Amino acid sequence: MVDIVLLGCGGTMPLKDRWLTSAFIRCQKTGILIDCGEGTQIAAAQQHISRSSIDVILLTHFHADHVSGLPGLLLTMGNEGRTEPVDIYGPEGISSVIPALCILVTLPFEVRLHELHEDAGLQTVCRIDSLCIEAFPVVHRIPCFGFRLTLSRCGKFNPERARELNIPVYLWGELQKNETATGPDGTVYRAADVLGAPRRGISVLYSTDTRPNGQLEQAMQGCDLAIIEGMFGDDEKRERAAETMHMTFPEAAFMAARAKPARVWLTHFSPSLPDPETYLPDVQQIYPAIELGFSGKSLNLRYPED
């Protein structure tokens, strides 16, 4: 139900063998891109992702390595034939930054810009069917947000109860999607009468460019996948990490160990970190579910079997 592809795993600048960090997430029919540095459209093409299928773009912050691929991506989406609007969400300033970056861009579709606010704390970005996208401020040199995408799941349908209530079978599907359904004689049936308690859905978290912080740690709890930054492998770089407002692998691992997401992918590696593999065994000692991100790393998350 939720397909995730990590498009790149680099920070600061694209390298010849490492794209900048961004992720494509397909949730039901909605295509979501998080961040878009230089080359992200090429990384997406390499993963056979139709760029024109991107409906929502979430921008963590306005450092060039997270947004400067946007003009090219939008142009390619137009060239690929997109005509439906695209919604872009990002920090305050989005309404001046994006038009400037896109000064040479003319598109056959509408781009709708939406501003996130740091003082709103954990906030709902948008809801699309059963998907809820939330944003939360993290701790970087400039305003920066993490995102959590949650696909909710209704309770189990009880066919015996539906029969007892004489609900026509053709309305059963509707009651699993909506709160009510109306019969041919005008009778209104309530989903709450035939569904069990809401079941556990699927949730994915994405957060780069931050120091460890409570908001992020809390948002990671219960996630099926947390994509978080590990800018520096070695804990000896902790001072440099603090200075630049990033995290070392151990800092990320200790936070994950407290929050306990089912899986963790580290990403956003510094160009000064050519072999992140070197540091993996140590952080897997801290939290075994940690893996390293790479371009094209993907995961298909399904609802758990009942």
- Point out which residues bind a second copy (CB under 8 A): 12-16, 37-39, 41-42, 45-46, 62-65, 67-69, 71-72, 75-76, 79, 96-97, 100-101, 103-105, 271
Q: How far is the CB of 73 from a second copy (least distance, A)?
A: 9
Which is closer to a second copy, CB of 66 or CB of 297?
A: 66
Is 65 tagged catalytic?
yes
- On the 0-12 / 13-18 / 19+ scale of CB atoms within 10 A, 234 is middle
Which is closer to a second copy, CB of 148 or CB of 297?
A: 297
Distances from the Cα of 76 to the Cαs of 40, 70, 79, in angstroms?
11, 10, 5
Q: Which residues contact 120 (CB under 8 A, 6 or more apart)?
A: none
Q: How far is the CB of 100 from a second copy (least distance, A)?
A: 4
Which is closer to a second copy, CB of 47 or CB of 158?
A: 47
Say which amino acid occupies 96.
Answer: S
Q: How far is the CB of 113 from a second copy (least distance, A)?
A: 14
Q: How far is the CB of 93 from a second copy (least distance, A)?
A: 10
The active-site residue out of 35, 65, 209, 224 is: 65
Which is closer to a second copy, CB of 65 or CB of 224?
A: 65
- Identify which of 212, 278, 205, 283 has the alpha carbon closest to the alpha carbon of residue 241: 212
| Residues composing the chain | 306
Q: How far is the CB of 246 from a second copy (least distance, A)?
A: 15
Q: In what order do the strands lie in the sheet with 56-58?
A: 111-116, 86-91, 56-58, 30-34, 22-27, 2-8, 298-301
Question: Residues 108, 99: contact at Cβ < 8 Å?
Answer: no
Token readout for 169 is: 């079978």
- Identify which of 119, 121, 101 has the alpha carbon closest to the alpha carbon of residue 111: 101
Q: Which residues contact 121 (CB under 8 A, 6 or more apart)?
A: 136, 137, 215
Which is closer to a second copy, CB of 1 or CB of 111?
A: 111
Q: How far is the CB of 186 from a second copy (least distance, A)?
A: 54
Question: Residues 98, 113: contact at Cβ < 8 Å?
Answer: yes
Question: Residues 266, 248: contact at Cβ < 8 Å?
Answer: no
- The residues assigned a catalytic role are 65
